[in-house]
Structure 1
């Protein structure tokens, strides 16, 4: 199948793209930077997989529309979509600038909305599709100095549940993954104090690896996950237990 992974130039997105390619899917690797996307593509093709790079800002409606046109014309309509594009910004609540708040929601929430809306018509026409939204455990429990980030991730979880109720009977399965802290550049950018405190809170005692999230997404994109609808899976080192 054709799989589109947004924000796949590094970190969790890159690991997801590589795992889906290993599973035999042809991967459209999106990133804001074409160079970063191409780096992921190069690793995939060096390992024998099939992939192509596409640059687009997922918060830009025109850019998303053009990206889907390019993906469809060169590879085919995506049957799998992984909405992963995002970034972290840490600040005490009273120091969060409006522009920082707006940008977090634009990339995470508006981006998930725009790319999903662009991909869904072809999935509905085919009577089959899979959407996996990458949220965060902070969208479930909150995070100190991460109010805007946690709020955006909570919105993604709510969108996942609502869209799953609307689309499941039409053949499109929609779920979310809410990772805990993962050893990626996004988490490395947070303060050392935050990382030390969070690591001490985790029952597992360690942050996860991006490849471990790739495995969870691989499962949700497989037939083994046929009964999973509107769920939020939590590979979070025990930070959230439901």
Structure 2
């Protein structure tokens, strides 16, 4: 029996990177997966890959800043599987620039996707989970939300907000049997980060006590722990998956 055998999970931003790896690990542990992402083409490709491994998977194109689309994503899971056991709010973007050069639109867009998008997913999931009297929510924050990154005032602020939201929701929803936790990944190898200049990448790796970047599967394993019964007495926690960076 897998750690998530027979459970229904929704993952946003699931077409690639960390979101897809979380879906892959959850499916390998027996979960039935509903993938949400804005990129419909990439979403179908991801679903085909998971289905080829025998996973039960469906897709719902979803803009996480649109409440109606988020609600539809959650409804699709409940309609297909009769429950929503796990919600992973992972969708994210970057619009990096210094304070002097960052546009108001780039600030608003990042805040909307990361902070409002997480709130909409959390709210929609909690409305289902409170009726079930059970459920686990995993919000993906970032080490940037703890230590801040130059050129990322928008992203760092949004990811710090995700932590505050997680703790507030954990206090609000705990008596209903709903656990809410967050993960703060550090430097993780993804297509986005590997586009970084080699010298910048090397400088960042040198700051990590374990002397290497992490992998998406290492973040996914953390999400698996928080989503599973192994973390039955864990709520309001922030799990740093950073190789020690930022301590």
Q: TM-score, normalised by structure 2?
A: 0.93
Q: Which residue of 1 aligns with 2:232?
A: 226
1:84 to 80, 85, 90: 90
1:150 to 156, 171, 180: 156
- Structure 1 position 210 matched with structure 2 position 204: no
Name the Cα RMSD after superposition. Answer: 1.4
SS class of match (2:94):
coil
Moved over 6 A (4+): none
2:58 to 40, 52, 56: 52
Report which stretch shifted further, 29-38 or 208-217.
Answer: 29-38
CA contact (8 A) 1:234 1:240 kept: no
Unaligned runs of 5+ in 2: 1-6
- Structure 1 position 170 matched with structure 2 position 176: yes
2:191 to 176, 185, 192: 185
Report which stretch shifted further, 150-159 or 30-39.
Answer: 30-39
Please show how residues 99-138 of structure 1 align to structure 2 within 5 Å. 99-138=105-144
SS class of match (2:136):
strand
Distance 1:79 1:223 in 2: 11
Please show how residues 64-79 of structure 1 align to structure 2 within 5 Å. 64-79=70-85
Q: For the structure 1 residues 191 and 63, does the alpha-carbon distance in structure 2 shift closer, same or farther, using more than 3 Å as the test?
A: farther
- Structure 1 position 96 matched with structure 2 position 107: no
Distance 1:111 1:225 in 2: 25
SS class of match (2:241):
coil
Unaligned runs of 5+ in 1: none
Q: Which residue of 2 aligns with 1:27?
A: 33
CA contact (8 A) 1:182 1:209 kept: yes
Distance 1:234 1:10 in 2: 21
